[in-house]
Structure 1
Amino acid sequence: MTDTYDLSTDIVDRIAGLSPGSPTHATRHKRDKVAAATQRSYEALFDPALPDLSLTERLLVALYACTLSNAPASAEHYAERLASSNADRAVIDQIVQGLLNESDIQEPRLRAMLSFTRTLIESPIDGDKTALERLPAAGISTPAVVALAQLIAFLSYQIRLTAGLRALQVLNATEAA
């Protein structure tokens, strides 16, 4: 496997607003191997063929994690991806507007996933055995629980990475001025 990949598809660069040739882009790609691994993780976690969690469920979790984390550029990306899905538009709108009341979600599986997302994003210490047990109780298989936890961990990483890159980009622009 090669460590080169199509830069035009790099989701972190797009969300962070990095342009090839910019100082921040150059800094990020000094370790292109890491950038490529991050992109491959994104592609794997959002592969429509991934079993146990539907792509729509994963995208809703991503949108919710980004909204809870106050990451509007990331949230916009996942909202755009959801636009062509069969997701409940009312749920999408409530997430985007920060008005989601998880208890109003009729689907127990989605309600449990979004509640677990909130727990891991806002209070990871509470992501204990009790929080985990709510997922199988809602009909979520063990492999799906593992995939969900991996997805939320990746989203936390992606959100922090893009925020750091945006901050570095502002710093570079300030120093250049």
Structure 2
Amino acid sequence: MTDVLLTIAEVGSDAPRDHRPTVRDAAQAAYHALFDVGADDPVPGVDRGFRHLVAARAARLEGDGPAAEFYLDGADVTDAVALVEDGPDGEAGVRATRRTRAALRYAELLVGSPAAATADDLNGLVVAGWSPAEIVVIGQIVGFVSYQVRVAQGLRVLDDVFEEAAP
């Protein structure tokens, strides 16, 4: 089974996580729960391609190119690259649906200023056509990608340290 975090980190060794296999397995299980959605998904309004779009935008906002590219590969959405790079207010964002723009703005808020999120922000998503369950999934994706990016960065730093220390 492919370890998505190790793929995103682009490191040769996963030794820093070897002592916590349960945590590694839980992170992989969370990835599958959020992104391996089938036709019977209980939240069908957030399909697999859109989930990847939100994840790619969140990773881009976090400044993690490898993670953004990984998720962009699964973002089967019109103008996905432009939406990830330029966001909801770029040229592609202006052409996108109201739902898409609202979701990407919400992702920007959660990555940039999560403590500033208010009930009005959630109401804006509802007005744009998102259901409460769909809003929760979007928030979970952004939170999960933020976690992945931090772990991947830690793995990169440790990989560099151990590479420099090697004789």
Q: 2:110 aligns with which of 94, 99, 120?
A: 120
What does residue 80 of structure 1 align with? Answer: 73
| 1:107 aligned to which of 90, 94, 97 | 97
Task: Give RMSD over aligned pairs.
Answer: 1.5
Secondary structure, in 3 states, of the residue corresponding to 2:142? helix
Aligned-residue offset at 1:101: 4.2
**For 1:1-177, what aligned pairs fall within 5 Å after superposition?**
6=1, 9-19=2-12, 22=13, 25-49=14-38, 50=41, 51=43, 52-82=45-75, 85=76, 87-88=77-78, 90=79, 92-96=80-84, 98-102=85-89, 104-177=94-167
Equivalent residue letter for 1:100: G
Unaligned 5+ runs, structure 2: none
How high is the TM-score relative to the length of structure 1?
A: 0.84
Give me the TM-score of the superposition, normalised by structure 2.
0.88
Q: Is the 8 A contact 2:55 2:71 kept in 1?
A: yes
Would you say how many aligned residue pairs link Structure 1 and Structure 2? 160
Three-state SS of the structure 2 residue aligned to 1:93 is: helix
Taking only the aligned residue pairs, the percentage that are identical comes to: 31
User: How has the CA–CA distance of structure 1 residues 106 and 80 changed in structure 2, closer, same or farther, with 3 Å as cutoff?
Assistant: closer
Q: Distance in 1 between matches of 2:58 and 2:107?
A: 6
Look up the equivalent residue of 1:80 and give its one-letter code: D
